Amino acid sequence: MAKKQKRRKGRKTKSAGRFGVRYGTRIRKAVVAIEERTHAAHNCPKCERGSVKRIGTGIWKCAKCGYTFSGGTYVPQTPLGLASQRALKRAVEKGTEIGIVSKETMEAEGELGE
Ligand SMILES: [Zn+2]
């Protein structure tokens, strides 16, 4: 009897089980929703393997190749982050066209010039 009850409780709380009965159902559910996305397998932008882990706020590291990069607070890539990357790339391309930034500088800086 007691065993059955315990099992049902664990299934419902998931990762928010560490909070016990505290903070309220809605907040604990929100935590579970975020943590499920945070702890899911994310692909590494360098080696493509799904072993990227969060090591701090917005800091992500691949356990296989050791590549560390910045991203969203709870997920490695956010829609807003992608939009800002596109805007930055466009601005840099415009800069190379009118000569604010030279093509050589961009190639020396790496990835954005590709
Ligand atoms: Zn990697």
Q: Give the whole-angstrom CA distance, residue 104 versus residue 106.
A: 5
Does 96 share its domain with 111?
A: yes
Q: In terms of domains, do 113 and 88 share one? A: yes
Kindly report the pTM of this predicted structure.
Answer: 0.71
State CA 23 to chain mean position distance. 25
How far is 35 from 25, CA to CA, in rounded Å? Answer: 15
In total, how many domains does the chain have?
3
Q: Identify the CATH number of the domain in which residue 53 sits.
A: 2.20.25.30
Q: Domain check: are 108 and 85 in the same one?
A: yes
Does 14 lie in the same domain as 35?
yes
Distance 49 CA to ligand 1 centre (A): 6
Composition of the chain by helix, strand, coil, percent to 5: 55, 10, 35
Distance 50 CA to ligand 1 centre (A): 8
Which residue segment(s) compose the domain that 15 sits in? Answer: 1-39
How many angstroms is it from 37 CA to the middle of ligand 1?
Answer: 19
Q: 32-84: per-residue pLDDT in tens?
A: 999 999 999 999 999 999 999 999 999 999 999 999 999 999 999 999 999 99
Q: How far is the CA of 91 from the centre of ligand 1 (A)?
A: 28
Regarding whether 90 and 67 lie in a shared domain, the answer is: no
